[in-house]
Amino acid sequence: MARLDTSKIFRTAYENGIVVPGFNIPYLPMMEPVVRVLHDCNSFGLIMVANLEFHKFEAGSLAAIRNEYEKVKDEKHTRLHLDHDPVIDEDDQRIDFLSIIGEALQLGYESVMVDGSRLSLDENIAMTSLVIQLTAGKVPVEAELGAVMGREAGSLPPYEELFISRKGFTAPEETARFVRESACSWLSVAIGNIHGAISAAGKQKDKPQARIDINHLKRLKDAANIPLVLHGGTGIPKEYIQKAVANGIAKINVATAIRQPYERNLDKRIKAAQNAVYETTCELLKSELSIGNSANFFK
């Protein structure tokens, strides 16, 4: 049987109301328990790394992640994805994002994300289009429209203030144009979700319990007509996640939920930290996302 490519997997997920979790790996020893639990639960997920995880955590490099993945990969249950590759990063620095994506493609990453969310609409479209040209249609390209808050320098405003003001929310009136002109494969949207803190002072604090504006999401789904992505999935109540998946969210990113248990157990031994990742991921797959046996959909 031919191996199903990542584009078809996400189209299947989108059309059948299934969510594919993407697990960020800021520390290399986290990868093995994540892949193992995906196999044990017969679930499908992405193994991911973002640019900031090389610089502010211990992921090492694109090659280090790829090499670790090659040791443990399970093609029925996993694919390798380059997460947030920003044009402008959380410290307001311009990044050589095209060279990072080019390296990821050479290393065999099976989907990539360009994050132009800190740009104007026109420039975001233009930069995303450059990535589409670079990939030459060989792998799916995720983009972001709107601004998923949480990784900016300085403190985050109170969550209720962000939600009520709709600050950073993806604009439905811009979405159809963005998808049409950029030709992105998947679109990360801002609908009340927020990223976990990455600063030394904040990264072990509990995230605010975020929620999702489902009516806003419905308008984005109608405008985009492609798989949508929810970043900052940790801390959003299950009922919101279920409604989001029913309304176009085909990928949900998970970082804080598995990173914090790993870090909190490192003072014991690596094995204890890995066990904490395994147990947390297992609970998430079975209870929070309810996607045990989801790999059966992607044969």
- Residue 298: pLDDT band (50, 70, 90) is confident
In this structure, how many other beta carbons lie within 10 angstroms of the beta carbon of residue 70? 11
Q: Which of 83, 85, 115, 213 is catalytic?
A: 83
Using a CB cutoff of 8 Å and minimum separation of 24, what contacts does 158-165 make? 159/194, 159/208, 159/209, 159/210, 162/194, 163/192, 163/210, 163/211, 163/213
At 1 the pLDDT is: 44
pLDDT tens-digit readout, 263-292: 999 888 899 999 999 999 999 999 989 999
Q: Is 152's pLDDT higher than 60?
A: no
d(CA 43, CA 40): 8
**Please, are residues 82 and 109 in contact by the beta-carbon 8 Å criterion?**
yes
Q: Is 200's pLDDT higher than 50?
A: no
Q: Is 35's pLDDT higher than 70?
A: yes
pLDDT tens-digit readout, 66-93: 999 999 999 999 999 999 899 998 788 8
DSSP 220-233: HHHHH-S-EEE---
Q: Is 168's pLDDT higher than 90?
A: no
Share of the chain above pLDDT 90, in %: 71
- 83 labelled catalytic: yes
Helices (H) and strands (E) in the chain, counts: 12, 8
At 59 the pLDDT is: 83
The DSSP element (H or E) to which 141 belongs, if any, is strand 141-145
pLDDT tens-digit readout, 102-117: 999 999 999 999 999 9
At 299 the pLDDT is: 76
The DSSP element (H or E) to which 260 belongs, if any, is helix 256-264
HSE on the CB side for 99, CA within 13 Å?
A: 3
Q: Is 94's pLDDT higher than 50?
A: yes
In this structure, of 42-51, 75-84, 120-129, 163-172, the range with the lowest mean pLDDT score is: 163-172
Residue indicated by tokens 């976990």: 196
Residue type, 7: S
d(CA 24, CA 81): 9
Domains and CATH numbers, the chain: 6-292 (3.20.20.70)
At 75 the pLDDT is: 93
Q: Is 100's pLDDT higher than 90?
A: yes
